[in-house]
Chain A
Amino acid sequence: MEILKKPASGKKYKRNFSSVAMLTATIAAAVITVFVLLFLIGYILVNGLPYLEPEMFSLTYNSENASFMPAIINTVIMTGFSLIIAAPLGIFAAIYLAEYARRGNKIVGIVRTTAETLSGIPSIVYGLFGMLFFVTSLQLGYSLLAGAFTLSIMILPFIMRTTEEALKSVPDTYREGSLGLGAGKLRTTFKIVLPSAIHGILAGIILAIGRIIGETAALIYTAGTVPEVPENLLSSGRTLSVHMYILSKEGLHTNQAYATAVMLLITVLVINTLSAFAAKKIAKGRS
């Protein structure tokens, strides 16, 4: 085992009691972390997979069959629409911060501070704001649209941060080369910098999708809880996470709640794998 090897100095080092205790505590903590994760995933998958029955995929929800298919459709719409708003905004904002703003620019400081504030705001506060602003003031009612607007503000700082990091990891020589060949700033940004940073941006957006799918508190009072396939963007509809919350809260459909939990876990697994895959591509492209 690597961790038990002597230090490179070659000096004979005696293990004393406190060192052994520290090492034990450190390893124990890591073991606990992994155990908790494996236990959570294992428990839900083992107990939930049998309930993933064909009826769960029925297009209609009723009290006998708490199907999650309408919720899945709502989730897809919600994700798509939130991204349509937040992704361009976040990417453009990051382009401003990373490519255009000069060092020491006051606007940059303000934007960074507000973005950090946004990322610390609890999702229930977003939900309340969405209810006051989009649902009531803009009169969108409980609707997918109001939910998507609320969520797009919520994931905006996240997309900004990951995109900015991706843009900053593009070497300056790329920009200098392009500018030196006579391309303008805009052309350089879109033709040279963005394509080289695309995998990093994608990794961030995929993680943002995960946040949208997992969100509950911000949606209950903006998108509402109607368990049906929406007619249009102004219809209310619950996403998979909201569906999961209501099933667990009511306690009447534990089996269906299990199945929904399995569905959510599988989605998260897929999303994390995809994001890691995209991130790995950057590493390869760079070397």
Chain B
Amino acid sequence: MVRRIGVKNIKEIVMQGVFLIAALVSVLAVALICIFLFANGIPAISKIGFFDFILGKTWAPTDVPASYGILPMIMGSIYITAGAIIVGVPIGILTAVFMARFCPPKLYKVLKPAVELLAGIPSVVYGFFGLIVLVPFVRNTFGGRGSSILTASLLLGIMILPTIIGVSESAIRAVPESYYEGALALGATKERSVYRAVVPAAKSGIMAAIVLGIGRAIGETMAVVLVAGNQDRMPTGILKGARTLTANIVLEMGYAAELHREALIATAVVLFVFILMINLLLSVIKRKVK
């Protein structure tokens, strides 16, 4: 009897250790990702020169002498992400309001899975859709070659919809019903109560949704590569093509060598720093919610 309890205890302790180790795997993974990216990327940045790398306007890794300025890609990422936010955020938030406040329960049963489906569609399928539908549409409607900042913004705006809708909807639902009732009791219409009392109360949550959307948009690769045109020059207009940081990596990693390769890893470091800043912003907002 005593021995059995002993064995049991050992089992308990061993398994608790196993669970703990499993939990620490994600810590290890983040550490490894940081180490490998920074160890391979930082030397390249110092070789090229920090400002020449970040603010350099020419990306010509195969020229002699080669130049490795990623400002065009940084601007490309920023323009396309901003465009995606302009397209996706208003539609996303309004749809979230509809789902949380105006939607009849029967319709909700269809709408909710539809939004989840939108989230589940692979980005390469979005990219293909953009390539065969949006690119010709933009070319015929607005002129230009079709593969442009506008096209990429439209496509990414669609792709971030489920993120924005999902997070905003739960933020709006978390607002106490008394806010709404109070506004109604003061004589406001239903719409006014929702938009003047409930939505402002969910502000932090909606901000979190937008920041998450920015993270999604800036990190998206495959869909953007297929529709953005990928010119490695400074973007000059929304109907002109642009290359994002992510596209730069995926397009050239296949054949890059030596400093070129390291410069691409350094591009990923810049992207990673962007994402870390976004995560930081997100945790600040989340703390505010609490």
Residues of A within 8 A of B (CB): 1-3, 7, 9, 11, 13-16, 18-20, 22-23, 25-30, 32-34, 36-37, 40-41, 43-44, 88-93, 95-97, 99-101, 107, 110-111, 113-118, 120-129, 131-133, 137, 153, 156-157, 160, 184-186, 207, 210, 213-217, 220-221, 241, 244-245, 248-249, 254, 257, 261, 264-265, 268-269, 271-272, 276
Contact = CB atoms under 8 A, between A and B. Distances in A.
Interface residues of B, number: 89
Interface string B6-22: 00100110011011101
Interface string B275-290: 1101100110000000
Interface stretch (B68-76, B118-126, B145-153, B231-239): B118-126
B113 interface: yes
A16 to B, nearest CB: 7
25 contacts: A14-B189, A16-B189, A22-B191, A25-B94, A26-B191, A28-B94, A29-B91, A29-B92, A96-B23, A111-B26, A123-B221, A124-B219, A125-B219, A127-B250, A132-B40, A132-B265, A137-B36, A153-B29, A157-B26, A160-B26, A184-B8, A216-B221, A221-B254, A245-B127, A245-B226
Contacts of B221: 122-124, 216-217
A210 B120 contact: yes
A126 B92 CA distance: 28
B112 to A, nearest CB: 9
B185 interface: yes
B37 interface: yes
Given A27-B98, A124-B221, A125-B33, A241 B122 contact: yes
Given A132-B40, A184-B12, A248-B226, A214 B124 contact: yes
Interface in B156-172: 158, 161, 165
Interface string B238-276: 000000001001100110000000001100100110011
Contact of B23 (A19, A92, A132, A184): A92
B104 interface: yes
B113 A276 contact: yes
A185 B12 contact: yes
A117 B279 contact: yes
B91 A93 contact: no
Contacts of A269: 117
* Minimum-distance CB pairs A-B, first 9: A122-B219, A214-B122, A29-B94, A92-B22, A96-B19, A22-B191, A217-B221, A2-B104, A30-B98
Given A30-B111, A120-B279, A248-B131, A217 B246 contact: yes
A268 B119 CA distance: 10
Contacts of B189: 13-16, 19
Nearest to A263: B125
Nearest to B122: A214
A121 B33 contact: yes
B30 A118 contact: yes
Contacts of A124: 219, 221, 246, 249-250, 268, 271
A114 B19 contact: no
B226 A115 contact: no
Contact of A23 (B102, B115, B158): B102
B133 A249 contact: no
Given A22-B195, A214-B122, A114 B30 contact: yes
A111 B24 contact: yes
B207 interface: no
B274 to A, nearest CB: 9
The winner among B22, B30, B221, B275 for most chain A CB atoms within 10 A is B22
B215 interface: yes
Contact of B22 (A93, A107, A245): A93
B120 A125 contact: no
Given A26-B98, A29-B94, A36-B158, A128 B22 contact: no
Contacts of A97: 23
B103 interface: yes
A46 B126 CA distance: 16
A244 B26 contact: no
A19 B192 contact: yes
A9 B120 contact: no
Interface in B21-75: 22-27, 29-30, 32-33, 36-37, 40
B174 interface: no
Given A7-B184, A19-B190, A107-B23, A120 B275 contact: yes
B182 to A, nearest CB: 11
Contacts of B282: 116, 120
Nearest to A190: B15
B218 A26 contact: no
A127 B132 CA distance: 27
A128 B268 contact: yes
A92 B165 contact: no
